[in-house]
Amino acid sequence: MIYAMDLAGVAIFAITGALLAGRKRMDGFGVVVLAVVTGIGGGTLRDLLLGVRPVFWIDDQTYLLVAVAAAVLTILTGRLWIRLEKALAVADAFGLSIFAVIGAERAMSLGATPIVIVTMGIITGVAGGVIRDVLAREMPFVLCGELYATAALVGATLFWGFTRAGLADPWSIALAAGACLVIRLAAIRWRLQLPIFHLKDADLSK
């Protein structure tokens, strides 16, 4: 189940990268590059920080093939996406929920402490999207008040809590990922945001 979810997360995040590349009018190579780094970026950073060698996509090239296939499929069907902005946000929410739990599970399997487990869940969930947005010259969701990293925090924490309570993996994974997804989709639907820290020019000149 974990492996299937991991591949699904890579595919979904790769699609978000490809969609954003299409919005930015990139060529085919650019679409594939943005899709791939979005799909595997968070997991790569997670494995590097945890000292896992080789990182997951070098050990199993299926992840790369899935990301590339998702990019090509998006190129072929891109015109079918009528509301690109909404599609991008919703697909990203699904990827976030899957990766937040996968990252936490990976750290837990290596015997990490609770704070590291939760942190790896957040990093796995948000890093790929941050890399995608930076390469595309977009302000990353995680930095502009969106309930994004917060949703990943909740998902990763719930997974750790459910697992510690003895809940079987399929249930702990499903409930934790579902909670993360609900929070993110609710934030998209009702435009829920964290408070913004804003300094006016007049404040900076004092």
Q: Is residue 146 part of a domain?
A: yes
Q: Is residue 205 part of a domain?
A: no
Mean pLDDT, the chain, integer: 92
Q: Is residue 182 part of a domain?
A: yes
Burial 58-67 (b: 16+ CB within 10 A, else e): eeeeebbebb
Q: Is residue 201 part of a domain?
A: no
How many helical (H) and strand (E) elements, i.e. helices and strands, does the chain have?
9, 0
Q: Is residue 200 part of a domain?
A: no
Domain that holds residue 47: 2-195
Q: What is the mean pLDDT of residues 114-140?
A: 96
What's the pLDDT score for residue 205? 55
pLDDT category of residue 204 using cuts at 50, 70 and 90: low
Q: Which of the pair, 1 or 65, is modelled with greater confidence?
A: 65
pLDDT category of residue 10 using cuts at 50, 70 and 90: very high
Whether 203 shows a pLDDT value over 70: the answer reads no
pLDDT tens for each residue of 50-89: 999 999 999 999 999 999 999 999 999 877 765 666 777 8
What's the pLDDT score for residue 49? 98
Q: Is residue 204 part of a domain?
A: no
- Tally of structural domains, the chain: 1
pLDDT tens for each residue of 137-178: 999 978 888 899 999 999 999 999 999 999 998 999 999 999
Written as six digits, the tokens of 18 are: 């490809």
Three-point CA angle 2, 120, 183, nearest 5°: 75
Helices (H), 51-147: 56-59, 62-77, 84-109, 114-135
pLDDT category of residue 202 using cuts at 50, 70 and 90: low
Three-point CA angle 4, 7, 10, nearest 5°: 150
Whether 96 shows a pLDDT value over 60: the answer reads yes
What's the pLDDT score for residue 197? 82
Torsion angles phi and psi, residue 146, rounded to 5: -70, 145
Q: Is residue 206 part of a domain?
A: no
What's the pLDDT score for residue 134? 95
Sign of torsion over alpha carbons 73, 75, 80, 84: positive
Q: Is residue 18 part of a domain?
A: yes
